[in-house]
Structure 1
């Protein structure tokens, strides 16, 4: 079993596509019209045949209270892996991305949280390599 597709709910699919492609650096994979919306996915350019991220319209009535509660509590909806959180933080802040949590060393990893401008908090994380003595501290 493997993860093939996961979803983030977005207020506006075209604005989300612009942010996820032009700011974050993902690549558009699918854009299939489905009624008034699209089956709109992006992938990592590092893994073009890997898992897809569906930019799902946030129209379902359960989405708004769910996302509002997560944002209010500072809980990210999704997590993306990066090689260097500090470098990604610098790159994204230079593009105007607003972070709710700056790079933070939590022992086994470094993480940061940003607002995706589409109604979600997203966490970026870089795990520290394990040493010969065991997992990172």
Structure 2
């Protein structure tokens, strides 16, 4: 068994697609119209057949309280692995990304937390 698909709720799929591709560097995998929304997924360019991230519309009534509580408590909704947290932090900050946690070393793990502009906090992480 392996993880095939995971998702993040987003306020606007087009805005999310731009952020996740143009800023974070993912590539679009699927874009299927579904009424007013889309089945819209991105993948890592390093693993195009790997786990897909669904940019899922946040319209369900349970989503907003859930996301609001996570953001207020500083809890990331997901984590993305990077080779060098400091280098990625510098690159993303230069692109205007807002971080709620600068790079922090915790033993064998370094993390930072960013705002994805779509209602979520995302952790970037490297394990040594």
2:123 is aligned with 1:123: yes
Q: Secondary structure at the match of 1:91?
A: helix
Q: Secondary structure at the match of 2:89?
A: helix
RMSD: 0.3
Runs of 4+ aligned residues of structure 1 deviating over 4 Å after TM superposition are none
Q: Secondary structure at the match of 2:25?
A: coil
- How far apart in 1 are the matches of 2:44 and 2:27? 6
Deviations 1:55-99 (CA, angstroms, capped at 9, x unpaired):
000000000000000000000001000000000000000000000
How is 1:46-57 mapped onto 2 (pairs within 5 angstroms)?
A: 46-57=46-57
Q: Secondary structure at the match of 1:101?
A: strand
Residue 35 of structure 1 and its aligned partner are, at CA, apart by 1.0
Higher CA-based Rg: 1
- How far apart in 1 are the matches of 2:39 and 2:15? 15
Aligned length: 128
Provide the residue aligned with 1:133 in structure 2: none
Provide the residue aligned with 1:114 in structure 2: 114
Provide the residue aligned with 2:90 in structure 1: 90
Q: Secondary structure at the match of 2:2?
A: coil
Provide the residue aligned with 2:42 in structure 1: 42
